[in-house]
Amino acid sequence: MSVNEVCVFRPFKLIALLCVFLALCLDVVALLSPAWVTADHFSLSLWESCSQSEARDPAEEEEAPWSCFSTLTSDWQIATLVLLVTGAVATLLAFLVALISLCRGTQRRHYRTVAVLLFTAVVLQACALVLYPIKFIDGTVLQSYHEFNWGYGLGWGATIFMLGGGILFCLRTDVYEDTMY
């Protein structure tokens, strides 16, 4: 580099890699979360449904036993889980390809692959996160107030970070002209 040349560093790809890493972390926590739907004496995750038996005495309510059973008997819950796990695997592959590409200096060749993997993961995750509340409300009649809890919210957070990472990997920072700066 001579004295007259200026090197402009644009950290878009590093920010994109950070977005993908955050999406992967949020996705893992969402998949393992015990609280996707909660209500009085009821909790539902991707893996199990738990309910607390009604105590006769209000003082014994905290000590009432919880009974849990697997949710992998319902087809829509299995479909949701498969879509989320497939999206997480696509995100993991995108993260590994992006990390190796950035470390080896072969960035441009693999950006499109990483972006396609991330957009695929976004579609899978969004389908799962839309399917889950629709089928839950359609198939479950809870007599009390229920809410979609932090596990479900982390799933949406992961999807948003995947989308952001995919968009940042689509940016072509190598075509900018020096006259613009």
pLDDT digits (tens, 9 = 90+) for 23-61: 999 999 999 998 888 887 788 888 888 887 765 555 555
| Lowest mean pLDDT across 22-26, 116-120, 174-178 | 174-178
Cα(137)–Cα(156) distance, integer angstroms: 18
Supply the pTM of this predicted model: 0.81
User: Which residue type sits at 6?
Assistant: V
Beta strands 146-148 and 66-70: pairing type? unpaired
The arithmetic mean of pLDDT across residues 113-134, rounded, is: 93
Cα-Cα-Cα-Cα torsion 102, 105, 108, 112, nearest 10 degrees, comes to: -30
User: Going by C-beta distance under 8 Å and a sequence separation of 6 or more, which residues neighbour residue 65?
Assistant: 52, 53
Question: pLDDT: is 116 or 141 the higher one?
Answer: 116
- Within the chain, strands assigned E span 37-39, 42-44, 48-52, 66-70, 146-148
